[in-house]
């Protein structure tokens, strides 16, 4: 059974190798020789000036626009109160005592 399967498999897959070999094109490669003592370094230097890009001007959305955007008065007051409460909690004597116990 195994020999029969192997023969059938070779019969089916054999022509595929020949067909793929016929599709290949052998091209002559370039041969570059140089001194073996020098390091192998490749410098890629542009030979044309780059084309002008479409990135002229400011971007549509930037962090600067977000930082300079107007803020809501009530939201700002709530944030200030929240930060003040955090400062009070961190500077209270009880907070300092609990921090020293945990260390």
pTM metric for this prediction:
0.30
Q: Is the pLDDT of residue 72 over 80?
A: yes
State how far the alpha carbon of 61 is from the alpha carbons of 54, 65, 71, 72, in Å: 16, 7, 17, 20
Tens of pLDDT, residue by residue over 6-62, are 778 777 776 665 545 555 666 677 776 666 777 777 888 888 887 777 666 666 677
Residue 85 clears pLDDT 90, i.e. is over it: yes
For residues 13 and 24, what is the distance between their CA atoms, to the nearest angstrom?
18
Provide the CA 63 distance to its chain's centre, in angstroms: 21
The predicted pLDDT at position 78 comes to 96
pLDDT band of 81, cuts 50, 70, 90: very high
Q: Estimate the share of the chain in helix, then strand, then coil, as percent rounded to the nearest 5.
A: 55, 0, 45
> For the chain, what are the domain ranges?
69-103
Query: Nearest 5°: phi and psi at 33?
Result: -120, 150
């Amino acid at each position: 059974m195994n020999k029969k399967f192997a023969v059938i498999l070779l019969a089916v897959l054999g022509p595929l190798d020949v067909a793929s070999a016929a599709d290949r094109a052998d091209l002559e490669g370039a041969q570059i020789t140089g001194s073996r003592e020098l390091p192998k370094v490749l410098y890629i230097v542009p030979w044309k000036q780059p084309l002008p890009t479409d990135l002229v001007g400011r971007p549509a959305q930037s962090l600067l626009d977000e930082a300079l955007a107007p803020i809501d008065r009530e939201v700002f007051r709530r944030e200030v109160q929240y930060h003040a409460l955090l400062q009070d909690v961190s500077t209270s004597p009880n907070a300092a005592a609990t921090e020293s116990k945990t260390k």
